């Protein structure tokens, strides 16, 4: 997620912006294109995603960073966030300036967590956002806070498809993709992955497949996904997502242990 590079503008910032605008300019040349769906990130609208937001601060789909990030770019996490904010800005500026014949929908997911059917090993499953809970369950303590935001992978896939429906979804809109974590769950805490492991995978904990002992401090942010729920329906929360990815992790680990 956070690429280390000696030249962040060349390797991260510029490709993020140009990747977005190149797709949009290509669509401009094709009269048959009616809707472009862009995957952005919640990080694009949160000023300081790796520290908790001030109390009572709620981020809505219309919130934007002002001023936009600029060089010097900072650490890899800050570079990644800046690339998302600038790419989102580029897509909205394109629509305002070009008035294209098609509409654009920007989707802002948080950490995408859940079963990954493309991986064959437990180590590969730990790449990307799935490693947020899996690192905690494998005894890793992360040195800095991480955003306490998450969304179920199948919800993200479903919404990308449904966002193409022009009758259901208005164009030139932005949606926050944040799983529910209502009163029944309380505030999202990344370390709650341990509760999931103990409740549903006690045997794997006992076997040492899930050694536990890790910790990731949660940077708390309140994201308003009410419009997303209104249009697309309820989204699953962190604990449901963790349960699914841990189930796959345990399955893969047991196969690997049996093969050795």
- Model confidence over 99-147: pLDDT tens digits? 999 999 999 999 999 999 999 999 999 999 999 999 999 999 999 999 9
Provide the whole-model pTM.
0.93
CA 51 to chain centroid, in Å, comes to 17
The predicted model gives 218-228 an average pLDDT of 94
- CA distances from residue 124 to 18, 109, 191 in whole angstroms, order as listed: 29, 21, 21
* Sequence-ordered alpha helix ranges (H) in 99-217: 122-125, 131-137, 153-162, 193-200, 202-207
Whether domain 8-259 has CATH 3.40.50.720: yes
Q: Domain extents for the chain?
A: 8-259
């Amino acid at each position: 997620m956070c690429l280390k590079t000696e030249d962040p503008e060349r390797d991260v910032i510029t490709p993020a912006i140009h990747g977005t605008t190149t797709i949009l300019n290509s669509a401009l040349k094709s009269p048959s294109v009616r809707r472009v769906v862009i995957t952005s990130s919640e990080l694009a609208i949160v000023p300081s995603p790796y520290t908790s937001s001030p109390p009572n601060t709620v981020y809505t789909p219309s919130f934007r960073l002002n001023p936009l990030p600029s060089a010097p770019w900072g650490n890899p996490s800050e570079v990644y966030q800046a690339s998302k904010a600038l790419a989102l800005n580029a897509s909205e500026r394109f629509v305002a300036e070009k008035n294209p014949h098609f509409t654009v929908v920007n989707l802002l997911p948080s950490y995408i967590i859940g079963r990954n059917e493309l991986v064959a090993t437990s180590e590969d499953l730990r790449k990307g956002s799935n490693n947020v809970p899996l690192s905690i369950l494998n005894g890793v303590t992360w040195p800095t806070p991480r955003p306490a935001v998450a969304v179920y992978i199948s919800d993200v896939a479903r919404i990308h498809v449904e966002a193409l429906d022009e009758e259901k979804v208005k164009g030139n809109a932005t949606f926050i993709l944040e799983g529910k974590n209502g009163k029944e769950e309380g505030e999202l805490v990344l370390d709650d992955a341990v509760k999931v492991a103990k409740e549903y995978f006690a045997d794997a904990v006992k076997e040492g497949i899930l050694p536990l002992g890790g910790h990731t401090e949660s940077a708390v942010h309140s994201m308003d996904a009410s419009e997303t729920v209104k249009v697309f329906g309820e989204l699953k929360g962190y604990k449901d997502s963790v349960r699914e990815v841990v189930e796959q992790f345990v399955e893969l680990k047991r196969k690997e242990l049996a093969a050795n």
